[in-house]
Amino acid sequence: MKLNERSLAFYATCDAPADNTGFLYKKGGRHATYHRRWFVLRGNMLFYFEDPASREPVGVIILEGCTVELVEAAEEFAFAVRFAGARARTYVLAAESQAAMEGWVKALSRASFDYLRLVVRELEQQLAAMRAGACPPLPRRPRPLLPKENGCAVWSTELPAIPTATSASARPGPEPPPRPPRRRTSAPGEPLDRVSFARLHEWYGQEIRALRGQWLRGQAQP
């Protein structure tokens, strides 16, 4: 199969922060020897280089559809990247410490595009529900994320470039509904989603009465 390898190499070496990096021992195919390689995880691609200074990866393990497990192996701190299918290969890798192994297993098991898309859809739905009406209470238990079949994905909005956390820059896409003015911090002590409507009504009512009082006094002056 043809593959745009130059683009792959670019993705491997671009200067965006990687999702995980480090030395791992990789068992070379049918031969029993382990080779020490510099690994770079970016997105759903696990690249491996001769060393950190290499300009091009030796290879890449495309991680989509894999499972990651601990294994019994002669090597310490070993784990495996497994794929489904009859003649699918299992990659046995070994880290240099317990902590490194755990870090890799964690990073690799959540590296799929599919998983990321699931999380994004979940957040998108939460946000849409919040904007559509009253804030529904956020679920108290983590909802199980079931693997879904890819039907026809329906995306309602084109996503603009991401502003920084602190700026509220103009967005080229469809405008979200205007937000109510910022509440001052004299909020009810509890998180908003747990406060009863009656309490919220009373609290907002007090604020409105205070503002109205100010305005009336302002009007009274010449």
Site for other proteins in 33-92 (CB under 8 A): 42-45, 56-62, 64-66, 83-85, 87-89
Which of positions 195-214 make contact with other proteins (CB under 8 A)?
Answer: none
Least distance to other proteins, CB of residue 217, Å: 33
4 Cβ contact partners less than 8 Å away, ≥ 6 residues apart: none
Least distance to other proteins, CB of residue 46, Å: 10
DSSP helix/strand/coil, 27: strand
Place of tokens 């010449």: 222
- The DSSP call for residue 50 is S
Neighbours of 51 (CB within 10 A): 9
Least distance to other proteins, CB of residue 49, Å: 10
- Segment contacting other proteins by CB under 8 A, of 67-75, 157-165, 199-207, 209-217: 157-165
Least distance to other proteins, CB of residue 216, Å: 32
Could you say whether residue 142 binds other proteins (CB under 8 A)?
Answer: yes
Question: Of residues 33, 156, 164, 219, which one binds other proteins by CB under 8 A?
Answer: 164
Apex CA 136: angle with CA 175 and CA 159, to 5°? 30
Q: Cα(140)–Cα(100) distance, rounded to whole angstroms?
A: 32
Could you say whether residue 1 binds other proteins (CB under 8 A)?
Answer: yes
Question: Of residues 51, 72, 149, 175, which one binds other proteins by CB under 8 A?
Answer: 149
Q: Cα(179)–Cα(137) distance, rounded to whole angstroms?
A: 19
Could you say whether residue 19 binds other proteins (CB under 8 A)?
Answer: yes
Could you say whether residue 99 binds other proteins (CB under 8 A)?
Answer: no
- The DSSP call for residue 191 is -
Nearest C-alpha neighbor of 68 from the set 85, 86, 84, 80: 80
Instruction: State the first-to-last Cα distance of the chain, in angstroms, to the nearest integer.
Output: 83
Could you say whether residue 113 binds other proteins (CB under 8 A)?
Answer: yes
Q: Which is nearer to other proteins, 29 or 222 (CB)?
A: 29
